Chain A
Amino acid sequence: MLYIHTFSATASCGRGCRELQQALFEGRSGLSPWPGPLPTYVGTVAGLDAVRLPVELQAFDCRNNRLAEQAVRTDQFESAVEAAVNRFGPSRIGLIVGTSSSGIASLEEAYCRKRTTPFGSSDRLGKTFELHATTDYLQKRLRISGPALTVSSACSSSAQSLVLAHQWIERKWIDAAVVAGIESLCMTALFGFRALNLIAPTPCRPFDRNRAGINLGEAAALMLVSNQPGPWRLAGYGESSDAYHITAPHPDGEGARLAMSRALILAGIRPSDIGYIHAHGTGTRLNDVSEDRAISRLFPPEIPVSSTKGWTGHTLGAAGMMGALISLLTLESGLLPRTLNTEERDPCLKSRILLESERTRPHYILSNAFGFGGNNCALILAGADA
């Protein structure tokens, strides 16, 4: 069994779990107009420019690693890891980081400066731009030395990271793991999603009949997990591939349905045991419709469903862990967040999309993350005694 001991959240609408929870209570979005050359809204983490890495790790300096550093300092995460190091030893603690683009923004900057000379060692590509750069940074920063991996399966990356932590701890390859989803804003994603006509010029409205696409956001979500009893647990997970299209989800949500039903089977529970579904809910028509079909084919119609992308934006590789983390906050507070900004549910949808927040105490929460390449990952989170 994989238990979750502590977690740290850094997102546009809140630095730290308390601020994030407060934003969810108050309906305060982290989205703001992007100052760049595209008309859209983004979820930017304020204050990253002022974050300084420890002197001995200065070579890692870039926005993505500053975001990681900020997350380490938040919610007493660093001291929780120190305690785990003392308990298990550094080499028994693994690290699995989900990110879709890592520090690519630093490479974009180099090209924008019109440099023509070849890259060399002074460019620190391995410490800033490469996919594994932030994983390497976190490992050195937290002084842990177990197996360390970067998962980059687009928007399901960090949900898969939690699954891998479970698999490795079950095999006793490690005793504990730091699991992370870390994504900072980059031009590649902004202009790339714009090229796909998926960027909304307004704050995103998932599941709304007047939806206009996605907003991008940056976030870092960290968890410390082990097989020793803790306050929350990963009750189940399910993964699947659509085998359909490189960007578009299966129109009937077949892959999403398969992932969710595999998660239910592994958790040993019925669909009606799920008290709330934290949807992937990006705000594109294709995602909304296919996810709704998958949910409504599998679950009773009264189960509440919402998307929190209106608070954070779509945080891509970090989205899976953000979803898991918000699910833990929901288990704690009993507040099921509404789908912020969404006013009129798309009439073609069948699920009970929350337009107002509700209070209840779900025992099990299912959180979805779907990505390019047709990767689907559903996680079921629960309290330790559920």
Chain B
Amino acid sequence: MKESVRLSGWGSVTDCGSPDQRMAGPGVDEPEIFTHAGLRHATQAARLCGLAAEQAREGAGYPPETLACVFSSALGELEITDQICSTLAEQPLALSPVLFHNSVHNAASGYWAIAAQSRNPCRAVAAGPFSYAMGLLTALGQVQAEPGTPVLYVYYEMTVPDRFRLVYGSPPARATAFILASAESAGPGSGPGPLLVFEIAPCGTRKPRDPATPGRPDPLPGTGRVEALTFLNGTFPLSEEHDLSLALSPCGSSPA
């Protein structure tokens, strides 16, 4: 059955500066919204997602504190996991408390909620190769369960440490963000956006995955804001048997 929500804003960001730039301190690739003192230790993923979320929110016009959020990523920040496991193998008592609390999968969404000062529900999810579409489905369900609260959906994957590259490849870090609202909502500011029509559809027999390259989700959102929209048109793998079928329909037209 086809359903629809309103797409109110979108954004996409690739990479977050080189490791050297990151060490240069705050100010590099810092989302403007990251002013709260509690964001001092925000992770690279949190900053990247924050930049994408801000792009999306500027288009939508919703104040940040009015949004619920769903963050999805298959792998989260393997860089932090790698550092923790290395420390545990060498000197476990030297493990840094910051590294530990930054290692939880909901660090990026947690920092966002602090930056946005949002008291709304906030989730961090993963679904292996299906992380993009399953995360989006989670966000779509949230919009429909609470039509009065628009939802920020952020999908991100980070660059993996060297020793993981044979398994996960080495695409640059990237984050894509969408703001989704109830189809009935008029939206603030610049008027209503296009409708996103979606459906859970059987996909027939999927080509078996190459066992040598597991893990990475199939769709990798592209480099710019315009490319982000290509991830709301087409079919995206939701499970071994289902696709999430997506289509943007122009503003004002009714859902199919």
Residues of A bordering B, CB below 8 Å:
37, 91, 100, 104, 107-108, 110-112, 114, 117-121, 123, 125-126, 130-133, 135-136, 145-154, 160, 164, 167-168, 170-173, 187-188, 191-196, 239-247, 254-255, 258, 371-375
Contact = CB atoms under 8 A, between A and B. Distances in A.
A108 B88 contact: yes
11 contacts: A91-B202, A118-B166, A119-B163, A145-B241, A147-B238, A148-B239, A150-B126, A188-B84, A243-B116, A373-B111, A375-B123
B114 interface: yes
Contacts, number: 216
A148 B93 CA distance: 37
Interface in B11-41: 38, 41
Given A111-B88, A119-B164, A191-B92, 17 more contacts: A119-B166, A125-B167, A132-B131, A135-B127, A148-B130, A151-B124, A153-B124, A164-B123, A188-B88, A194-B95, A195-B95, A243-B118, A246-B110, A372-B106, A373-B110, A375-B106, A375-B122
B85 A374 contact: no
B174 interface: no
Contacts of A91: 202, 241-242
B230 interface: no
Contacts of A374: 110, 113-114, 122
Interface stretch (B52-60, B182-190, B207-215): B207-215
Interface stretch (B134-142, B219-227, B247-255): B134-142
A154 B105 CA distance: 7
Given A132-B128, A151-B125, A241-B120, A100 B93 contact: no
B2 interface: no
A373 B106 contact: yes
A246 B101 contact: yes
A66 to B, nearest CB: 20
B5 to A, nearest CB: 12
A297 B247 CA distance: 47
A148 B240 CA distance: 10
A126 B114 contact: no
Closest 5 A-B residue pairs measured CB to CB?
Answer: A373-B110, A192-B100, A152-B105, A132-B128, A239-B121
Contacts of B214: 121, 125-126
A91 B202 CA distance: 9
Nearest to B88: A187
Contact of A173 (B41, B105, B141): B141
A114 B89 contact: yes
Interface in B130-177: 130-131, 134, 137-138, 141-142, 144-145, 162-167
B239 A145 contact: yes
Given A153-B106, A247-B101, A241 B122 contact: yes
A103 to B, nearest CB: 12
B106 A243 contact: no
A149 B138 contact: yes
A366 to B, nearest CB: 17
Nearest to B116: A243
Nearest to B133: A147
Given A121-B212, A147-B137, A196 B101 contact: yes
Contacts of A194: 93, 95
A167 B145 contact: yes
Given A126-B215, A164-B138, A168-B141, A246 B126 contact: no
Interface in B188-209: 200, 202
A111 B116 CA distance: 37
A153 B105 contact: yes
A245 B114 contact: yes
B119 A255 contact: yes
B235 interface: no
Nearest to B93: A191
Contacts of A371: 104, 106
B127 A149 contact: yes
A188 B118 contact: no
Contact of A373 (B84, B122, B200): B122
A194 B88 CA distance: 12
Contacts of A372: 101, 104, 106-107, 110
A329 B163 CA distance: 46
Nearest to B75: A130
